[in-house]
Structure 1
Amino acid sequence: MNILITGGTGFVGRELTKALHQKNHNTYILTRSPENYKNTSNTTYISYNYPAEELPVIHGVVNLAGESLFGYWSKRKKDAIFKSRIDTTQKVLDIIKKLHKKPDVLISGSAVGFYGFSEDLIFTEATMKPGKDFLAKVVMEWEKVAKQAREMDIRTVFTRFGVILGKEGALPYMQLPVKLFAGGKIGNGEQWLSWVHLEDAVNLILFCLFNNHVEGPVNITAPHPKRNKDFIKIMANILKRPYWLPVPYPFVRVAVGEMSQLIAKGQYVLPKKAKDSNFQFAFPYLKEALQDINR
């Protein structure tokens, strides 16, 4: 099969591309700078202006591109977070509209930020009411644009990612204070963290890509979220560092602005669709996930 991917050179996209190649699929990576990459027998790098009519039959599209959430959330940063997701998704839809044969499926990246924040509610794909914060509004607009694919009779999946754990991404930032012997809960430590190991995130994308019964929102999270205080404690034990220095929320707010909500607040998100479909997680528990990443 031929799979068109945005964000294919990023943290998740690279691993997804490897996994597709192992299954003998071909990938076409949309990037702003295709000249920086070398094509291979099963990967072709193309610009967003590449003539759609020159592409082969595209069987599936995976849209993972977007400005990183990490960093101080200035107005400029927030605009980039919003615009990158909306604009890229619209460009993908415009390409799809020009294809002679439409793909069977669009997997459009999304986030558990859709649900907003809570210390006591449990969110699944059946949760219809979105949050009211900035990220929830971004996700709503992001998914709204992707829904155009449904009008073309394309099966559409919104992969709502939790915090993806791997050697890149969020985890190195989360581990740094612990490694510097300054590990401890953030705020009251009661906030939930809905996480997923990179391997399971990639396998869930593949699951959505190749199973025709899967559509709509799909939570890409492990089945056992952890409270911040427990997450940091497990991490400290694995890294053989002390767990003792609480970080006050105002300090985090000053450091990263509104992004502090992602750290000091949280949500308990369950992957109900994956579980109902008997998807087998390689790392359902945090301890084993962190041990694998840090070995």
Structure 2
Amino acid sequence: MNFLLTGGTGFVGKHLVAALHQKGYHTYILTRSPANSANSNNSTFIGYDHPVEELPTIYGVINLAGESLFGYWTKQKKEAILNSRIETTKKVIQMIEKLEEKPDVFINGSAVGYYGMSEDLIFTEETEQPGSDFLARVVVEWERTAKQAEDFGIRTIYARFGVILGKSGALPLMSLPVKLFVGGKVGSGEQWLSWIHIDDVTELLNFCLLNENIRGPVNFTAPNPLRNKDFTKVLAKVMNRPYWFPTPAPLFRLATGQMSQLVLKGQYVLPQKAETHQYQFIYPELEAALKNIHRGKL
């Protein structure tokens, strides 16, 4: 089978492409500069202006492109976070529209930020009311743009990612204070962190691609979220470092600006749809997930 991807060279994209190749599938990776990437037996890099009539039958399209959330949220940064997602998704929808034979499935990247922030509510895919903060507004607009794929009769999935743990992504930044012996809770420590191991991300993406009964929003989070204070305590244990140096919320806000809400606030998100469809998590518990990533040597 053939798959068309955006964001194929990013953190999640690289892992997904490798997983697809292991299953014998071919990937067509959309990029702004295809000439700078080397094709292989299983991967072909193409530009957004690539003639769609030259593509083979595409079984699935996966859209993972978007400006990183990390960095100080200036007005320009926030515009890039929103526009990169919307504009890329529009281009992908336009390509799908031109395909004579439509793909069976379209997975669009999304985020648990859809639900907004709360310390006491539990969110599942049945939660329809979105939050009202910046990230929630971004996700709502992103999913609304991707929803156009449904007009072509394509099974469409919105992969609402939690905090993805792996060698790249958020974990190295989260691990740094602990590694430097100044780790501890951030702010109150009561804020929930809905996490997922990168291996479960790629396996669940594959699971959704091939399961014809799955559509709509899917929460990509492990079944056991933790509060910030407990997450950091497990992280310190795995790293064999002390857990004693809390970071006051005002100090963290001063250092990171509005981006601080990613850490100071959170949400308790459960993967109800994945579990309903019998997906078996590889890493349902945080300690095993962290040990796998770092082999006990952070």
The TM-score with structure 1 as length reference comes to 0.99
Structure 1: distance between partners of 2:255 and 2:64: 27
The percent of aligned pairs where both chains have the same amino acid is 63
Match of 1:67?
67
The residue that corresponds to 1:240 in the other structure is: 240
1:24-63 → structure 2 map (5 Å cutoff): 24-63=24-63
* Equivalent residue, structure 2, for 1:163: 163
- Distance in 2 of aligned mates of 1:236 and 1:36: 40
Aligned length: 295
Letter in 2 for 1:26: H
1:214-262: CA deviations, max 9, x gaps?
Answer: 0000000000000000000110111111111110111111111111111
Once the two structures are TM-superposed, the CA of residue 120 in structure 1 deviates from its matched residue by 0.5
1:82 deviates by: 0.2
Looking at structure 1, the residues matched to 252 and 91 of structure 2 have their Cα atoms a distance apart, in angstroms, of: 35
Cα deviation, residue 100, structure 1: 1.1
AA aligned to 1:39 is N
| 2:274 aligned residue | 274
Shift of 1:90: 0.5
Which residue pairs with 1:101 in the alignment?
Answer: 101
Q: Which residue of 1 aligns with 2:186?
A: 186
Cα offsets for 1:185-237 (capped at 9, x unmatched): 00010000000000001111111111000000000000000000000011011
Q: In structure 1, how many angstroms separate the alpha carbons of the residues matched to 2:256 and 2:55?
A: 42
Q: What is the CA–CA distance in structure 1 between the aligned matches of 2:235 and 2:100, rounded to whole Å?
A: 50
Q: For 1:153 and 1:72, how far apart are their aligned partners in 2?
A: 40
Query: CA offsets, 1:101-138, max 9 Å, x none?
Result: 11011000000000000001000000000000000000
Q: Which residue of 2 aligns with 1:143?
A: 143
Unaligned runs of 5+ in 2: none
Give the corresponding residue for 2:285. 285
Alignment of 1:195-274 (within 5 A): 195-274=195-274
Q: CA deviation at 1:37?
A: 1.1
Question: Deviations along 1:50-106, whole A, 9 cap, x unmatched?
Answer: 111111111100000000000101101100000000000000000001111110110
Q: CA deviation at 1:33?
A: 1.4
- Give the match's secondary structure for 1:57: coil
What letter matches 1:122 in structure 2? I
* Unpaired runs of at least 5, structure 1: none
Deviations for 1:151-197, whole angstroms, at most 9, x for unmatched residues? 00000000000000000000000000110111010001000000000
Choose 148-157 or 28-37, whichever is displaced more: 28-37
Structure 1: 4+ residue segments shifted above 6 A: none
Give the secondary structure class of the aligned counterpart of 1:232: helix
Q: Which aligned pairs between 1:11-26 and structure 2 lie closer than 5 A?
A: 11-26=11-26
Separation (CA, whole Å) in 2 of partners of 1:247 and 1:35? 45
The amino acid that maps onto 2:78 is K
